[in-house]
Amino acid sequence: MESVSDFYADRALLEWQIELGVTEAIGDAPVDRYALPETGPAKRKVATPAASAAVEPAAAAQSDPVQEAKIAAQSAGSLEDLQQALGAFELCELKKGARNLVFSDGVPGARVMIIGEAPGRDEDREGRPFVGRAGQLLDRMLAAIELSRAENVYITNVLPWRPPQNCDPQPEEIAMMFPFLERHVALAKPEFIICMGNISCLSVLGKKGITRMRGNWEQAFGLPVLPMFHPTYLLGTPSAKREAWADLLDLSAKLKL
């Protein structure tokens, strides 16, 4: 049986071929097109007023995913309501290929809220953000400045569902999930936000370039925002841990003011 990841990979390959101009599938056996009967050009169908009227309601019935997300998010009066609203949201294709909704971890109402990018394999399996090796590194980083998800940090992601094969989220997916993220911040009520990674910065701050942005405080949702390297990046680039440590010290200093 074909796995979900294989399905999404096959679909992405098919869409790529269509963008290149592929218009028909070629069979295994060759076809002698000179032996095929001649066919005249297809007659162009002229749309009649009645036909146009029949099409217009169908086009109008198509919903705007971002607007639907805004309505669903704003209807949530608590974090529990928001989690239920996300679970009931059916317009994001990522949900179909994910095992679990990855909503949050840590302490709601904590002064520090970390926003990551998207769930990976481990997060998708457990239904919690930042687990596995990246999560372990994050926990060690927080512990170095006397923070922990068990006591005084709240964690979520830009996307609640794992993208196929851990690929970067598409812009339309980020836009679709942003109303939920915005509401999440409003309900969690942090004092400081940490954006970990490029995708998080793109969603929250509208720009990316984490090597240039990290360490520089920004503003979003009416709150101070500090871009930082994602723990996954630090695992592959240990030399960047010096900058990450400087950012953690900066955050610690802010918390002590």
Would you state the pLDDT for residue 165?
86
CATH architecture designation of domain 65-256? 3-Layer(aba) Sandwich (3.40)
pLDDT for the residue numbered 222: 97
Q: Domain locations in the chain?
A: 65-256
Burial 122-159 (b: 16+ CB within 10 A, else e): bbbebbbbbbeebbebbbebbeebebebeebbbbbbbb
What is the reported pLDDT for 257?
86
**Angle formed at CA 42 by CA 37 and CA 46, multiple of 5 degrees:** 160
Task: Report pLDDT for 50.
Answer: 45
Which pLDDT belongs to residue 4? Answer: 47
Give, in order, the Cα–Cα distances in Å from 5 to each of 2, 12, 89, 163, 199.
Answer: 8, 11, 21, 9, 21
Which are the contacts of 108, defined by CB distance < 8 A and separation ≥ 6?
Answer: 79, 154, 187, 188
The pLDDT value given to residue 57: 47
Helix, strand, coil distribution of the chain in percent, nearest 5:
50, 10, 40
pLDDT in tens, the chain (257 residues): 545 456 656 666 666 566 555 555 555 555 555 565 554 444 434 444 444 444 444 444 567 999 999 999 999 999 999 999 999 999 999 999 999 999 999 999 999 999 999 999 999 999 999 999 999 999 999 999 999 999 999 999 999 999 998 888 999 999 999 999 999 999 999 999 999 999 999 999 999 999 999 999 999 999 999 999 999 999 999 999 999 999 999 999 999 98
Rounded to the nearest 5°, which phi and psi values hold at 217?
-70, 135
